[in-house]
Amino acid sequence: MIRILISHLHFHQRSSEHESEQCQGSQDAWRSLYNVEGGHRAVVFNRIVGIKDKVYPEGTHLMIPWFERPIIYDVRARPNLVESTSGSRDLQMKASLEG
């Protein structure tokens, strides 16, 4: 009876170790993915070679955890209004907004 209990406990211990290894593997795979949203771009910093030359467009990309880190930039165009005053032919000052 005691042998059966010990072997049963040993079996559960092995299966829980296997499950934790599977969880760790899936967490590592999840950490190696990153998303670049629409209107953004990314460059990757590598601890060995520095910033890579490639610019990554929107989408899901792979990286090596700890060795690489994505740096994501917002590249959307934004309106910029500039107020300026100028003289007309009759030398009156007019304000205008340009954008």
Over the stretch 64-79, which tens digit does the pLDDT of each residue have?
999 999 999 999 988 8
pLDDT of residue 6: 42
1 pLDDT band (50/70/90 cuts)? very low
Domain ranges of the chain: 1-31, 32-99
Question: What residues form DSSP beta bridges with 71?
Answer: 43
The C-alpha angle with vertex 47 and arms to 46 and 52, in degrees rounded to 5, equals 25
Cβ atoms of 55 and 92 closer than 8 Å: no
SS3 84: strand
Over the stretch 8-58, which tens digit does the pLDDT of each residue have?
444 444 544 555 555 666 676 778 999 999 999 999 999 999 999 999 999
pLDDT of residue 82: 78
Cβ atoms of 74 and 38 closer than 8 Å: no
